[in-house]
Amino acid sequence: MKLDALAELRRIDARARRMSRVSAVLQWDQETYLPAGAVEERAEQISDIEGLAHERFTDPRVGELLESLGSSAGNPSGAESLPFADRAFLRALRRDYDRRTKLPRDFVEAVARDQGLSQAAWVAARKANDFSAFAPHLHRMVEHAKTRAAFYGFSSNAYDGLIDEYEPGMTEARLSALFTPLAAGLSSLLSRIASRPQPRLDFLHRNYPISVQEVFCERMMDDLRYDRSRGRLDRSAHPFTTTLGADDVRITTRYFADNPLSGLYSVIHETGHALYEQGYGPDIRGSCLADGASMGIHESQSRFWENIVGRSRSFWERYFEPFKLMFPACLDGVDIDSFYRAVNAVRPSLIRVDADEVSYSLHIILRFDLERRIFSGELSVPDLPEAWRDGMRSLLGVVPDTDADGVMQDVHWSMGAFGYFPSYALGNIYGAMFVQAMTADFGDIGSHIAKGDFETLLEWLRGRIHRIGRSLFPDEILFEICGTPADAMPFLRYLETKYSAIYAF
């Protein structure tokens, strides 16, 4: 009987997830190729599909089958006699079912419709540098987020409910405890770096033909083992990765002729996400377990490949000459030492996605602070542009001239993804912790990077993180691999070691 119930649950789950992937296809198309005039109709299409998917996910039969297998709110994993894989499946499905059944279908449809309109409004408003045009949409997304948190049972602290969507078990208080020493350590390091001679950067702002950038980026995707027979690379206003199916994991990026590192590192970053998505084990394929354990764990993968690998000396010892051959006019007379220092230049900047490793997490801490103040009622939407400028001045010492480079620079709020931003800083923290464990297992990873042996690194990640998907929660993964809860110190030590060498202090 238990086997029959499990098999039926898996069929229902798989069908519901296929429906949600249809919605993801429509959203991907909206971000890449959709004609501007089709935005409103597309919002309605996505709304309808999301409503149908919600209906499948919340089918009362799912609740009946979960109960029959001993899964409840108090015991989500079900009967102890079941194998670990089945208990992990039940726990994940119970979490999803309990959350989704608290959301009325008309609310889900309304949010999906408003997300589509909000994202389109954000694109237009950012281009026109017109926050007032975007503000009503942003207000609507904030209100939807508050309503969703209340449905989940987090009416007294809505922000905890939103954080928990992306990082199960994480809270505002825990994030504050992590981010306070992180901010202090980063600020100290920034101050010391600022007192040192800065690297030359002029050669990074010459004319790098975008068509050639694309060729180099595609080579990087291949070298890092992204399976392009199961995905593709396109362009969008904001780089992202989306999973449209087990064998369809897509990446987008954006290129600038006078900034080749922007496109390159966004491609490597998104490849990190895609490698995770392509790495789920065959035993969880197509199920609720075939997803990231959390967005923080997901970001640990993208930040690992982008920064710890892609900005390392070992990486550029392997790729500097091929890169130089592709852009000879731009890099004539530039040696690897100058290039490596330029790639790792630390200069607080306005744009998060182009930020250096040291200042990047301060961008996230700013957004975390603004989000928690929004949901505590301390800030309202009209307050955000000025609060943004104040935060940038305080944390990074730079202030945007425009809202396009300030409060409107990221797509996430237009999607209603409040509680998501902390994942980026958590990704830095988790990634450094994983590298510490990786180094203990097989020594300095730099030797593998210098040889282009990315397979060894990838297989280590696959075996411990990718293949199990959501079978473990983030804290469980950290204890399994590192033996400790989240800790900012390994990340701060990594930065201290790397940048004290680069800046000679």
Task: State the catalytic residues.
Answer: 270
How many C-beta atoms lie closer than 10 Å to residue 43's C-beta? 21
CA distance 41 to 381: 27
Q: How many Å apart are CA 352 and CA 427, to the nearest integer?
A: 15
H or E segment to which residue 234 belongs: strand 233-235
List CB contacts of 503: < 8 A, sequence separation 6 or more: 192, 193, 196, 346
State the Cα–Cα distance between residues 62 and 486, nearest whole angstrom.
34
Task: Please work out, in degrees rounded to the nearest 5, the angle formed at the alpha carbon of residue 111 by the alpha carbons of 101 and 365.
Answer: 95
Whole-angstrom Cα distance, residue 505 to residue 386? 36
Q: List 253's β-bridge partners, or say none.
A: 235
170/173 Cα distance (integer angstroms): 8
Output phi, psi for 247, to 5 deg.
Answer: -115, 30
Amino acid at position 413, single letter? W
Does residue 392 contact residue 398 with C-beta atoms inside 8 Å?
A: yes
Cross-strand bridge partners of residue 241 = 251
- For residues 92 and 492, give the distance between their C-alpha atoms in angstroms, rounded to a whole number: 33
Q: In whole angstroms, give the CA distance from residue 451 to residue 341.
A: 21
Residue 124 has which token pair?
């237009």
Q: Which amino acid is at 480?
A: E
How far is it between the farthest Cα atoms of the chain?
73
Q: Which of 227, 497, 453 is nearest to 318 (CA)?
A: 453
CB 285 within 8 A of CB 267: no
Rg, Å, the chain Cα set? 23
State the residue for tokens 């400790």. Answer: 484
Residue 416 gets the label, from left (phi > 0), alpha (psi -120 to 50) or beta, of left
Beta-ladder partners of 248: 245
Distant-in-sequence, close-in-space partners of 188: CB < 8 Å, separation ≥ 6: none
Confirm if 329 and 205 have CB atoms less than 8 A apart: no
Query: Nearest to residue 31, comparing CAs of 115, 142, 130?
Result: 115
Q: Which residues contact 203 (CB under 8 A, 6 or more apart)?
A: 330, 331, 334, 338, 339, 342
The closest of 127, 395, 355 to 261, measured between CA atoms, is 355
